[in-house]
Structure 1
Amino acid sequence: MTVPEAATQSRTVPLADGALELRWSEVTHRGRRREANQDAVLAQYPLFVVADGMGGHIGGEIASASAVERLTAVAITGEVTPKTIEKALSRAVADIASHPETTDEGTGTTVTGVYLDLSDPEPTWVTLNIGDSRVYLFRDGALAQVTTDHSVVQELISAGRLSPEEAENHPYGNVITRAVGPSDAVAPDYVRLEVVDGDRFVVCSDGLTKELTDYGILHFLLQHDDPTDAADDMLEAALENGGRDNVTIIVLNVHRTFDGAPSPAED
């Protein structure tokens, strides 16, 4: 089995009281059963995003690529805010609508990720989400899903009509309730998180979570500190477990240092 080669990238971000050392890696694969990869990925500081396209023919591929292309332009400026993200997604909607091969009613894309916000004295992470791709946070040895899926199954779980175990094989498991598409100008959900030394993020399409449980994701994070090694092993496990969908993964490590003082974790 051939797994795409990836390399860990790094960035040191100066802060008023020290610095953030970020290390990340991304990988994407069409899986074992799909003819094309309709996922797209953006891992360019300060913005890390996965987009999972949907739609007949190449509609989904165009939708995810349009969203990532417009968001890449935002990442390059460094001015990543809800306003610039939503403006970029509106432009992506127009791109998708104007393309002759995206007329299928089911065409669209998820857009899920995390960015570093330095607009206030104390830095924060902000997650963004439309659809059922996910952001996970690994902190203090535990893994938590930060984003909430926009899906029929999640709505049934939230209403108490379906258990998480029953959801795994539900016939509507692939049906999402919000997407970036040719007729949908949708604002993401946002969650703001403090910046903590030792945090790790996993941003992924549902091609990973269909094949790997949260415990499986945690296992590979605990096994590998290097983001590339962790992402590659998650991908390999997803493919070995069936690889029924495209699989895209970003692993982002956060190390915070303080000038002349121990970090809070060292107190």
Structure 2
Amino acid sequence: MLTVRSAAATDIGRVRKHNEDNAFVGTKVFVVADGMGGHAAGDLASALAVARLRRLDEVNCLDAETLRAHLALANADILDTAEADPQREGMGTTVAGLGLTSIAGTYHWLVFNVGDCRVYRYGGGELAQLTIDHTEVAELVAAGKLTAEQAWAHPRRNVVTRALGADPAPPADVWIVPAGRGERFVVCSDGLPLEVADAQLAQTLDALPEAAAAAAALVRQAVAAGGRDNVTVIVVDTAQQEGGGAGLAAEDAGGAHDASDDTVPRENLGSGSGSGSGSGTVAL
């Protein structure tokens, strides 16, 4: 029986006037979206993406095709909304996330991104970035024109080459990763890697075994290091437990809830200027 525990935290940072990040923490789907286009536009674009992708949490047999279809629909939602209001022209959002699925009776993660929101995996003392940034700088690194160290400090490191809200719809990267025991994943907006290097990220994940503590600490570190952008972090932990049988259980900071309790999923953690968090446990 695979158990998944998750938590999320967000902060406006020290420079921005509004938090344009949005996030969804479900039972098997976890999404972070980082809006672009200014307050009321970027915030709305990321919220539209989250609203569309949260529906994947209700899909019985999630697969890559269904995921890509929902990303395309999110892109259309943003374009339609922008077309209806000229002041929102050009709004968009980057997005990344995880979706748990079963393939031939074995659990796997669908890892996806459009833009420079990221998904990391930490296990066995090693940190790996599972997504590839869709940015000008990432392309220069891939071409051998910049080192990873140079890219981290490059002034154009956050110029994205793909985002939802484009016409035609941008292609999404989707990977299928086996779900192992004792692993943790981080889904984050670019405000985290902008301030926190991989070594510090790995050290924090190693030092703090509770998902809620790790998510909150990473957000605090990003803000303390400069907080030049909004920062949102979801930490997802997996564990293999004895026992079996069908069923779904979930809990959050408020106590235990039945699987049908719609207060378990947390969304729009990034709305407003403060910070927020949520957590849950599912047994699949």
* Bin for the TM-score computed over the shorter chain: 0.7 to 0.9
Contact 1:96–1:102 (CA under 8 A) maintained in structure 2: no
Q: Percent identity among equivalent residues?
A: 40
Higher relative contact order (CA 8 A, sep 6+): 2
1:265 match: none
Gaps of 5+ in 1: 1-18, 261-267
Give the counterpart of 1:54 among 19, 36, 47: 36
For the residue of structure 2 that corresponds to 1:192, the secondary structure is strand
Change in Cα spacing, 1:188 to 1:131, as seen in structure 2 (3 Å) is same
Q: CA RMSD in A?
A: 1.7
Amino acid at match of 1:149: D
Shift of 1:81: 2.3
- Whole-Å Cα distance in 2 between the matches of residues 128 and 258 of structure 1? 30
Alignment of 1:73-222 (within 5 A): 73-99=55-81, 100=85, 103-105=88-90, 107-222=91-206
- Whole-Å Cα distance in 1 between the matches of residues 200 and 87 of structure 2? 35
- Cα deviation 1:21-71 (Å, max 9, x = unaligned): 111101111111111111110110211111111113422111110000001
Change in Cα spacing, 1:101 to 1:203, as seen in structure 2 (3 Å) is farther
- After TM superposition, the runs of 4+ consecutive aligned structure 1 residues lying more than 4 A away are none
Amino acid at match of 1:116: L
Amino acid at match of 1:58: A
Change in Cα spacing, 1:89 to 1:193, as seen in structure 2 (3 Å) is closer
Shift of 1:126: 1.6
2:253 match: none
Amino acid at match of 2:94: T
For the residue of structure 2 that corresponds to 1:110, the secondary structure is strand
2:275 match: none
1:45 match: 27
1:32 match: 14
Shift of 1:98: 2.4
Shift of 1:124: 1.1
Shift of 1:225: 0.4
- Cα deviation 1:105-145 (Å, max 9, x = unaligned): 3x211111111111421111120111111111011111111
1:250 match: 234
Contact 2:61–2:102 (CA under 8 A) maintained in structure 1: no
- Whole-Å Cα distance in 1 between the matches of residues 174 and 242 of structure 2? 28
Gaps of 5+ in 2: 245-284
Change in Cα spacing, 1:131 to 1:34, as seen in structure 2 (3 Å) is same
- Whole-Å Cα distance in 2 between the matches of residues 36 and 103 of structure 1? 16
Contact 2:61–2:101 (CA under 8 A) maintained in structure 1: no
Contact 1:93–1:184 (CA under 8 A) maintained in structure 2: no
- Give the structure-1-normalised TM-score: 0.85
Amino acid at match of 1:148: I
Contact 1:125–1:195 (CA under 8 A) maintained in structure 2: yes
Change in Cα spacing, 1:222 to 1:117, as seen in structure 2 (3 Å) is same
Shift of 1:258: 5.2
Contact 2:115–2:163 (CA under 8 A) maintained in structure 1: yes
Amino acid at match of 2:89: D
Matched positions, count: 241
- Whole-Å Cα distance in 1 between the matches of residues 65 and 101 of structure 2? 13
- Cα deviation 1:47-101 (Å, max 9, x = unaligned): 1111111113422111110000001122133443222222222322222122215
Moved more, 143-152 or 117-126: 117-126
- Give the structure-2-normalised TM-score: 0.80
Contact 1:110–1:131 (CA under 8 A) maintained in structure 2: yes
Amino acid at match of 2:219: L
Contact 2:64–2:110 (CA under 8 A) maintained in structure 1: no
Shift of 1:102: 6.0
- Whole-Å Cα distance in 1 between the matches of residues 87 and 102 of structure 2? 37
Shift of 1:259: 5.2
Contact 2:95–2:113 (CA under 8 A) maintained in structure 1: yes
